Structure 1
Amino acid sequence: MSEAGDMGLVVVGAAGRMGQTLIRAIHTMPGARVAAAIERPDSPHLGKDAGELAGIGIINVPIVDDPLPAFAKADGVLDFTAPAASVEFAGYAAQARIVHVIGTTGCSADDNARIAAAARHATIVK
């Protein structure tokens, strides 16, 4: 939690439709703030302000491609990406010992097993 007591949330897939929707929702939610916005390394949106991209104005949260440092400083992760990315993010959430909410669909049995393994070290809601 930040000094102000707000829950810091990381949005992965921040430039996507759901990512932008989550950024807008968090911005209006009392007690919560966008702590970080993550995109894949080849995204043309890297370095842009997450709030500006989501249409709410500048929130001073640049879109970055390195999730682990962001996860280490956050309280939770919101993930509506792709199965392979969700598996990777589950591992990072486990390392950071934070909550990971997964809205990704289409996970295989192997993906689900890997997410379940990560859930031994983090609270994962899928």
Structure 2
Amino acid sequence: MNSDSPYRVGVAGASGRMGRMLIEALQAAPDCRLSVALDQANSPALGHDAAAFLGQTSGVAIGADLAALAGCQVLIDFTRPEGTMAHLRACVQHGVQMVIGTTGFDAAQKAEIAAAAQRIGIVMAPNMSVGVNVTLKLLELAARSLASGYDIEIIEAHHRHKVDAPSGTALQMGEVIAAAQGRTLADCAVYERVGHTGARDPSRIGFATVRGGDIVGDHTVLFAGIGERIEISHKSSSRATYAQGSLSALRFLAARPSGLYDMFDVLGLR
């Protein structure tokens, strides 16, 4: 990217909740310019100016043709796995970098993203919030210090429209905790409990999911010991934090033509 001119940025899911928050952030960022706005082919927003919901004119009409990606340097994508994978292939074709906030990928899709990162720069994180990523760093420290004698439970809550569970952020919390204790999440996660479960296995990391209303995103990790418990929580009241984190991620990619990164890399938390 040329740092002397505004970054030409595309937004996927332009008429969705997160898409609109990203467009609003881009409109306010002097070093960024919205250049492509994508949505599904059946979206009623097609053909409308992407910033019309703000009472502004961006000069960019919402469209569904992925060939338009040739007109941007980086695409920000908070959609769904199947959409993101189609966008990924188009970005590789056109040499466009990506900031991926989509969650719910399976192993094969993650492998395809990793392979694509050999050709383009990608920042992928289930949560772009600076606060969430600082929370992950705190969890890493807590997990090392509380590796024995404490039961670990992860509780997350999101709005009624979220389609995957547990949330990508909750899973990343589990992965960070497990790795800090020399384990893998796949070997110790418990995602549901029903019926006669027996006594709790102290080696497990439990997950609980809440869906309702318009909750943007709440996450709490409970370390429950004998006589005390430690709770580390992050609560989002606006998607604006995700949008600002995404802009930090695209700026990070400016000097990196290829590679797969996350928000720890962007924020220098390694």
TM over 0.5: yes
- SS of 1:34 mapped into structure 2: strand
1:118 partner letter? A
Structure 1 residue ranges (4+ consecutive) displaced by more than 6 angstroms after TM superposition: none
One-letter amino acid of the counterpart of residue 59, structure 2: N
How many residues end up aligned between the 2 structures? Answer: 123
Percentage identity across aligned positions? 37
Alpha-carbon deviation of 1:56?
4.2
Task: Give the partner amino acid of 2:110.
Answer: N
Distance 1:31 1:60 in 2: 17
Could you tell me the TM-score, scaled by structure 1's length? Answer: 0.91
Distance 2:23 2:93 in 1: 24
Mapped pair 1:75 → 2:73: yes
SS of the aligned residue for 2:69 comes to helix
TM-score (norm 2): 0.44
Q: Which residue of 2 aligns with 1:5?
A: 5
Task: Compute the displacement of 1:121 (Å).
Answer: 1.6
The answer to whether the 8 Å contact 1:95/1:121 transfers is no
Question: Counterpart of 1:121?
Answer: 119
Greater RCO, CA 8 A, separation 6+: 1
Residues 1:57 and 1:119: Cα distance change in structure 2 (over 3 Å): same
SS at match of 2:45: coil
- Partner amino acid for 1:48? H
- Segments of structure 2 that go 5 or more residues without pairing to the other structure are 125-270
Whether the aligned pair in 2 keeps the contact of 1:9 and 1:36 (CA below 8 Å) is: yes
- Counterpart residue type for residue 61 of structure 1: V
Does structure 2 conserve the Cα–Cα contact (< 8 Å) formed by 1:24 and 1:56? no
Within 5 Å, give how 1:3-82 maps onto structure 2: 5-53=5-53, 55-68=54-67, 70-82=68-80
Task: Give the root-mean-square deviation of aligned CA atoms.
Answer: 1.6
The answer on 1:98 being equivalent to 2:96 is: yes
C-alpha distance in 1 between matches for 2:83 and 2:46 = 17
The amino acid that maps onto 1:76 is V
